């Protein structure tokens, strides 16, 4: 696009933003760490983590990192294909498909990841022993990676009989 700003196809959500410190001989050096989740709400989602000298730089670098780590989620309409459970570090997440109209039942980081992936009907539970948003988000992405696509139904044809002719059983007299 000439002369304009290119519209990004992904929605983004800043999951976590922290000021981190490195202590040196000359004093403390402050930087910012950003965790960004991106998704197109059509089955693609990714998470990125980056540090920068200011917030904007950290967010831009995290967005670039998330684009490099995009995954495709096999959707079954508005939900996932089957139940799955995954673990990342101390975080453990269980995802269950739900019927249409059930809604997105999830908390915290899992809710953000699932909504940006485009999943509308699902039940998710963070059952790990950590309240850390970053590890819960990465555990949710690990669970989404484990999903298998729904197998396509193969149509089997029944053997055809001649039209208009009924098979009769012979009567032994």
* 54, pLDDT greater than 90: yes
Domains of the chain: 11-145 (3.30.230.10)
Q: What's residue 159's pLDDT? A: 62
Among 21, 49, 19, residue whose Cα is nearest residue 109: 49
The first and second tokens of residue 48, run together, are: 């990125």
pLDDT in tens, 107-116: 889 999 999 9
Mean pLDDT, to the nearest integer, of 2-17?
A: 78
What is the model's pTM? 0.80
The whole-number pLDDT of residue 14 equals: 95
Residue carrying the six token digits 């809604």 = 103
How are the residues of the chain apportioned to helix, strand and coil, as percentages rounded to the nearest 5? 20, 35, 45
Q: What element of type H or E holds 87?
A: strand 84-88
Taking 60 as the threshold, does the pLDDT of residue 27 lie above it? yes
pLDDT of 173 strictly over 80: no
pLDDT-based confidence at residue 4 (cuts at 50, 70, 90): low
d(CA 58, CA 135): 19
* Tens of pLDDT, residues 56-77: 999 999 999 999 999 999 988 8
Residue 149, pLDDT score: 85
């Amino acid at each position: 696009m000439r002369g304009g700003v290119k519209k990004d196809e992904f929605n983004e959500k800043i999951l976590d933003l922290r000021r981190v410190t490195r202590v040196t001989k000359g004093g403390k050096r402050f930087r910012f760490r950003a965790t960004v989740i991106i998704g197109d709400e059509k089955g693609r989602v990714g998470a990125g983590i980056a540090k920068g000298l200011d917030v904007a730089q950290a967010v831009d670098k995290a967005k670039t990192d998330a684009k490099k780590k995009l995954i495709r989620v096999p959707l079954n309409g508005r939900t996932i294909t089957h139940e799955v459970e995954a673990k990342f570090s101390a975080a453990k997440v269980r995802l269950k498909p739900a019927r249409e109209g059930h809604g997105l039942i999830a908390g915290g980081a899992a809710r953000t990841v699932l909504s940006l992936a485009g999943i509308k009907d699902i039940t998710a539970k963070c059952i790990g022993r950590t309240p850390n948003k970053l590890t819960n988000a990465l555990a949710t992405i690990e669970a989404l990676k484990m999903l298998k696509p729904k197998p396509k139904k193969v149509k089997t044809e029944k053997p055809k009989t001649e039209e208009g002719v009924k098979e009769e059983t012979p009567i032994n007299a």
